[in-house]
Structures are given as C-alpha cells and as structure tokens.
Amino acid sequence: MNQDSNLIKKYAIANQKGGVGKTTTCVNLAASLVATKKRVLLVDLDPQGNATMGSGIDKNELELSIYEVLVGACKAEDAIVESPSGKYSILPANGDLTAAEVEMLSLDNKERRLREALSQLDDQFDYVVVDCPPSLNMLTINALSACDGVIIPMQCEYYALEGLSALINTINQIQSVLNPSLTIEGILRTMYDPRNSLTNDVSAQLSDYFGDRLYRTCVPRNVRLAEAPSFGQPALSYDRQSKGAIAYLALAGEILRRNESAGQTEEAQAS
C-alpha cells in the first residue's frame, strides 16, 4: 500500500450545474476504490449532506462534521467516521456547513482551510474524493485549492457544454491564483443513453475537445444506482451486479491505470 504522502491523490468532483451525478459519483467511486484495496476518504462539502446520507450516516446525529474542521474547532481526524456500507472513511456534512461559508470569510487563509486540514491526513489515505456543492462559493474554492485534480461529471446535453466552459474558466483562475498544480483529471459522462442522437453529438464534441481526458467509462441511467442512496448505500453494496455498480468499478480501474502509467512515466524521466 502507498505510504508516500506525495502519492496521495486528491480529486474534487465538481460541476457548477446541479443534477449531473456529482454525489452519486463521489459515493460510488469511493466504494469502488475501496473494492480495489485502496484507503479512501470521502469529504462531503455540500451543506445538503447527501453524500453523508448516501454513505449510511445520519447527518442529523453528527457530533462533529466538516464544519468544525473548516472553522478550526477540531482536527480532521476527530470528525472522520466510517461508512458502514461503503467501507471508506468520510468527513461528513450537514446544514451547519452553510454557516461555515460566512464564518470563513473572516478567518486567515480562508481559501486554504480544507487544504491545511487534509494535509494532516496524507499518510493515512491513498485517495481523497471531495463532493463539491453545485455553485462556485468559498466551499468549492476550498476544494479546488486542496485537490490536485478535478473530475467533472456531466450529462451529454446541450446546456451541459455551456456550464462546462464556465467551470473550466473557474479552474484556470484557481490554478493561476491559488493552486498551480490543479488539473482537469477527467470528464465523466453520466446518465448516458447512447440511443439518443444529442447524447452522441455532445459525446463526440467532448472527445474532440478533451481527447484522452474523457473517460472511456460512461455511467448509464440505472434504476438501482438511483435507488441506492435512499438505502444509505453505494450501488456496489446495494446491487453489485447492476449496470451502475459495474460502471463505477470500471471508472475506478481507469483512474488507477492512468495513475500507474503516469507514475511509470515519472520514474522513467527521473532515471
């Protein structure tokens, strides 16, 4: 297992457009990476707390959450809980997080609060996955400042491309001002229906523009994937054979292979 803190991978799952499968991707990617024997931390940065609930944790019963971490009331490791269904660690969230945004404005280093908190955990995890809120606010800026890659889930529909250009501008700004190592890790097509001609048109445009940063894996529309959160489970534990569970396992495999190949390239250059 990776014990080198430099090798930890931190991904923000972000899209300023809501309803594209961000939380579904966070929960299911975390569970799929655990299935490959990786140590995973999911950070819920959305005040709605959907990733927390979808991981089988009652957001209303939390003693500590990411809110306390961001305002400096506790260390990150004190707020971490284990997802009983997904088997990953989670920094949970609830409505308290709304207050954090206002409070953080008066704190030192407000854009880097999450980065500082997570740096204390580097030797404990192989992957950190951050669920961002569906808007560009101080929480999203914290996520983009703390991570080295952004995974963008999106539906293949007309308005999705408009939203994507706004998000890329945001990423470029964060890169130039706060986090020079931030990159677009990949584009993930969600709720994918290959029978739809617009889906295929948008998919082709994405492929032309992003090349190999467009994941080969597409996440289909899937009833079991949609049902799983109401049972507090990732699709992998709710219905392992479902198309949704299989797709996210494939995505985890694709991410691991990319990282292995990047690591081998770096080693070759170093020698």
Q: How far apart are CA 56 and CA 79, in angstroms?
A: 16
Q: How far apart are CA 48 and CA 13, in angstroms?
A: 15
1 domain-assigned: no
Burial of 37 (0-12, 13-18, 19+ CB in 10 A): exposed
133 domain-assigned: yes
The pLDDT, as a whole number, for residue 165 is 86
Which residues, 6 or more positions from 126, have their beta carbon under 8 angstroms from its beta carbon?
1, 2, 7, 8, 9, 33, 38, 39, 40
98-to-24, 54, 64, 73, 220 alpha-carbon distances in Å: 21, 19, 15, 16, 32
Residue 35: which domain range? 7-270
3-state secondary structure of 144: helix
240 domain-assigned: yes
188 domain-assigned: yes
Radius of gyration of the chain (CA): 18
The pLDDT, as a whole number, for residue 172 is 95
59 domain-assigned: yes
The pLDDT, as a whole number, for residue 4 is 43
What is the number of domains present in the chain?
1
Number of neighbouring beta carbons within 10 Å of residue 198? 11
Q: How far apart are CA 78 and CA 242, in angstroms?
A: 35
Left if phi > 0, otherwise alpha if psi is -120 to 50, otherwise beta: which for 182? beta
Both tokens of residue 112? 């880097």
CA 32 vs. chain centroid, Å, equals 13
Enumerate the H helices of the chain as residue ranges. 22-35, 50-54, 66-70, 76-79, 97-104, 113-119, 138-146, 158-177, 197-210, 223-227, 235-238, 243-270
CATH number reported for the structural domain that contains residue 231 in this entry: 3.40.50.300
15 domain-assigned: yes
Q: How far apart are CA 190 and CA 121, in angstroms?
A: 30
2 domain-assigned: no
CA-based diameter of the chain, in Å?
52
The pLDDT, as a whole number, for residue 144 is 97
The pLDDT, as a whole number, for residue 2 is 41
Q: Are 85 and 114 in contact (CB under 8 A)?
A: no
Which residues, given as ranges, of the chain have pLDDT below 70?
A: 1-6, 271
135 domain-assigned: yes
Provide the b/e sequence for 2-23 (b: ≥16 CB within 10 Å).
Answer: beeeeebbbbbbbbbbeebbbb
Among candidate residues 209, 210, 213, 204, the one with its CA nearest the CA of residue 255: 213
